[in-house]
Structure 1
Amino acid sequence: MPQTVRGVVAKAKGEPVSIESIVIPDPGPFDVVVKISACGVCHTDLHYREGGINDEFPFLLGHEAAGVVETVGDAVTHVAIGDFVVLNWRAMCGECRACKKGKPWYCFDTHNASKKMTLEDGTELSPALGIGAFADKTLVHEGQCTKVNPESDPAVVGLLGCGVMAGLGAAMNTGNVSRGDSVAVIGCGGVGDAAIAGARLAGATTIIAVDRDPGKLEWAKDIGATHTVDASKVDAVEAVQELTDGFGADVVIDAVGRPETWKQAFYARDLAGTVVLVGVPTPDMQLEMPLIDFFSRGGSLKSSWYGDCLPERDFPMLVDLYEQGRLPLEKFVTERIGIEDVEAAFSAMHKGTVLRSVVEL
């Protein structure tokens, strides 16, 4: 039987979100209904509301979520009723050219639910990143569910569903940070601080946090940065070079995604070092640089999609490290809020006063 639940909906570009009645259909053969326990408020949700992703309004927002499988389709084998899961937006298909090349973290045809959730009047909803988890329940493909330790705090581990995994993976997977490396992270919001945590976990010995906000630099130190650079007061590139014996960092991660910060990352790395872009640029941004600089410096210039993660491999491992006290995921939860507080959380995010607000249901 279809179910009617509460959900946070963005009906039009730039307008405040509203709580609406959402109809959850019976799951298709490979679909599952998940009862949401908690869901983080991510910048991507704000981008959806502002029309920065596409114009397929109305959107059912929310995607950094954990919950319990409530109902399963007839052909589901990946999870069972009662499983505690973290939701992911890259459910590998196994059939596209990336998957067949053995690079499923680039999967070009990820799975989503076969049916649409709707408003009560039948209007189809576009779930954020194929999830839509600012709701009491949501409908997803079974491959979007990753089983993790059921004793874990949903508000904490649910953040692996997007931003925290993006940052951790930018360091550990895309940047291949290893023991003894020097790492600089530009932009110390949730994704940047997760990159710092990932660099620390991978064994980097010098971890430099770069931001223009002293408060965010304090957060970065608490997460694991060994040095901080206030880019509002000093030249960030020169500061990173000074902290790395004049050479530049082995890996520089741009967690902002602007031409200015990418150039800083490029020139702040060591010769043959690695630049990782994990901050998301807007379509209008342009980069202009001398081509000879790319040739003469060598190294790697990479973009990180979802931290190049494999949810089935990475989520359980990272949750176990959190439970062992080796990964401070709990420090990313700034506040726990109700479903009616999402719009206020967007405002706090815009002001830079939170790492993550988390909706608890």
Structure 2
Amino acid sequence: MPTSTRAAVLTEHGAPLHLTELPLPSDLEPGAALVRVSCATLCGTDVEIWSGRMSFPGMLPMVLGHEMVGEVVAVGTGTRDALGRDIAVGARIGWSESTCGECYGCVVLRQPVACAKRGYGFLQRADVHPYATAGLCEYVYVVPRAAKLLLPDDLPDTWTAMAGCAAKTVLRAFDKVGGVRAGSRVAVQGSGALGLFATAVARLSGAGTVITVGAPPSRLDLAGDFGADATVDIAEGTTVDQVLDLTDGRGADLVMDFAGAPTVGAEAVAMAAQGGRVVIVGTTGPGSNPLPLGTVMGKELTVQGSLNGDIADYHHAIEFFQSFADRMPWDRLFGTPVGLSAAHDRIEAMHRLDEVKAVIDPRLP
């Protein structure tokens, strides 16, 4: 069993990642696993943390990456996946955040996303035991309470990695807001990985018209490949007017925020139809964003928040990719795999909007 691992560590916001060796635990706790990472797909959250837009005191140094899969090289006693299946050495697994199973959110609400001690591997400091728990490592220590899943052989690493955050987040949002009514008008705010995936989900769910709002033009062109009937470029500055024009003045029956820009809330309710639904997913952080409550009341809108996703959503995301494997060009969401030494370049590319989802294979040079 390896005693250390190569890792790309964030030591300063906006600075290059530091390639170094991190120690690995010598003994595996019951329920834990040691995994050699085969694929980590970077998420918008990784870019926000790297840039410093999402930050809090004492978080650095850290290893980024929370969408990953890999091969199990060692297990602790009684290590099983979320469905109770034994995890053996050599198994291919994905995993997500840990939950305590004891707090009000876990026990009373029965909502893992409400866990008071919810723990993401990428929030573990890289200078504190167990050191290596996030995706930009060659080997990762998967803690006992992390939500683990044995993965099917028929799905690529990139898809199953994305299922661990981006895909499950989108699918949960659709579930929370009640899904898509057949033939309805759907407006998706945001043309990143979540927005593009949501565009595809809306199309596959039977929407009559799907409108993707975002930038740059290359992303909007890609949205067409994922089922958008029309796109709106935010650079043109007439976002709401364009959505209203595309919906014969009525607005969208379902508006989904995957962008998180300061103006998104006001624009979402403005472009929503009478009696429409708005789901907020992309807005993060403590900042205050205005929401015109008079419009919410006057249009009798339903406004729903949706936070990431849990192990059930993760499982649904795997099933979704299996069911619709041939229906969308999923591989176009992903960049060319690179090793840890090029991870910083790929984060910068995502920050420039030159790449939708960077792919890191720590086994590469």
Change (3 A) 1:163 1:233: same
Change (3 A) 1:246 1:108: same
57-66 or 242-251, which moves further after superposition?
Answer: 242-251
Shift of 1:12: 2.6
2:60 partner letter: F
1:233 partner letter: E
Q: Distance in 2 between matches of 1:290 and 1:11?
A: 40
How do 1:137-156 and structure 2 match up within 5 A? 137-142=139-144, 143-156=146-159
Q: Distance in 2 between matches of 1:263 and 1:160?
A: 30
Whether the aligned pair in 1 keeps the contact of 2:99 and 2:119 (CA below 8 Å) is no
Q: Residue 12 of structure 2 corresponds to which residue in structure 1?
A: 12
2:93 partner letter: V
Shift of 1:48: 2.6
1:108 paired residue among 96, 111, 115: 115
Q: Residue 202 of structure 1 corresponds to which residue in structure 2?
A: 205
Q: Residue 84 of structure 1 corresponds to which residue in structure 2?
A: 92
Instruction: Determine whether 1:164 maps to 2:167.
Output: yes
Q: Residue 124 of structure 1 corresponds to which residue in structure 2?
A: 128
11-20 or 59-68, which moves further after superposition?
Answer: 11-20
% of aligned pairs identical?
27
Whether the aligned pair in 1 keeps the contact of 2:63 and 2:125 (CA below 8 Å) is no
Q: Is the partner of 1:232 in helix, strand or coil?
A: helix
Whether the aligned pair in 2 keeps the contact of 1:93 and 1:107 (CA below 8 Å) is no
Q: Residue 355 of structure 2 corresponds to which residue in structure 1?
A: 354
Whether the aligned pair in 2 keeps the contact of 1:258 and 1:281 (CA below 8 Å) is no
Q: Distance in 2 between matches of 1:347 and 1:293?
A: 38
TM-score, length of structure 2 as denominator length? 0.86
2:8 partner letter: V
Q: Distance in 1 between matches of 2:100 and 2:182?
A: 33
Whether the aligned pair in 1 keeps the contact of 2:91 and 2:150 (CA below 8 Å) is yes
Q: Residue 276 of structure 1 corresponds to which residue in structure 2?
A: 279
Structure 2 segments unaligned to the other structure (5+ residues): none
Q: Distance in 1 between matches of 2:100 and 2:324?
A: 29
Q: Distance in 2 between matches of 1:102 and 1:19?
A: 41
Whether the aligned pair in 1 keeps the contact of 2:80 and 2:148 (CA below 8 Å) is no
Instruction: Determine whether 1:265 maps to 2:268.
Output: yes
Change (3 A) 1:246 1:112: closer
Q: Residue 301 of structure 1 corresponds to which residue in structure 2?
A: 303
Q: Is the partner of 2:160 in helix, strand or coil?
A: helix
Shift of 1:290: 4.5
Q: Residue 21 of structure 1 corresponds to which residue in structure 2?
A: 21
Q: Distance in 1 between matches of 2:96 and 2:352?
A: 27
1:11 partner letter: T
1:7 partner letter: A
Q: Distance in 2 between matches of 1:222 and 1:228?
A: 11
Whether the aligned pair in 2 keeps the contact of 1:175 and 1:251 (CA below 8 Å) is no
1:306 partner letter: N
2:31 partner letter: F
Instruction: Determine whether 1:292 maps to 2:299.
Output: no
TM-score, length of structure 1 as denominator length? 0.87
Aligned-residue RMSD, C-alpha: 2.7
Q: Distance in 1 between matches of 2:225 and 2:141?
A: 37
Shift of 1:147: 1.7
**Corresponding residue pairs, total:** 352
1:326 partner letter: R
How do 1:184-223 and structure 2 match up within 5 A? 184-223=187-226
Q: Residue 103 of structure 2 corresponds to which residue in structure 1?
A: 96
Whether the aligned pair in 1 keeps the contact of 2:136 and 2:360 (CA below 8 Å) is yes
93-102 or 177-186, which moves further after superposition?
Answer: 93-102
Q: Residue 183 of structure 2 corresponds to which residue in structure 1?
A: 180
Instruction: Determine whether 1:227 maps to 2:230.
Output: yes
Q: Is the partner of 2:222 in helix, strand or coil?
A: helix
Whether the aligned pair in 2 keeps the contact of 1:251 and 1:273 (CA below 8 Å) is yes
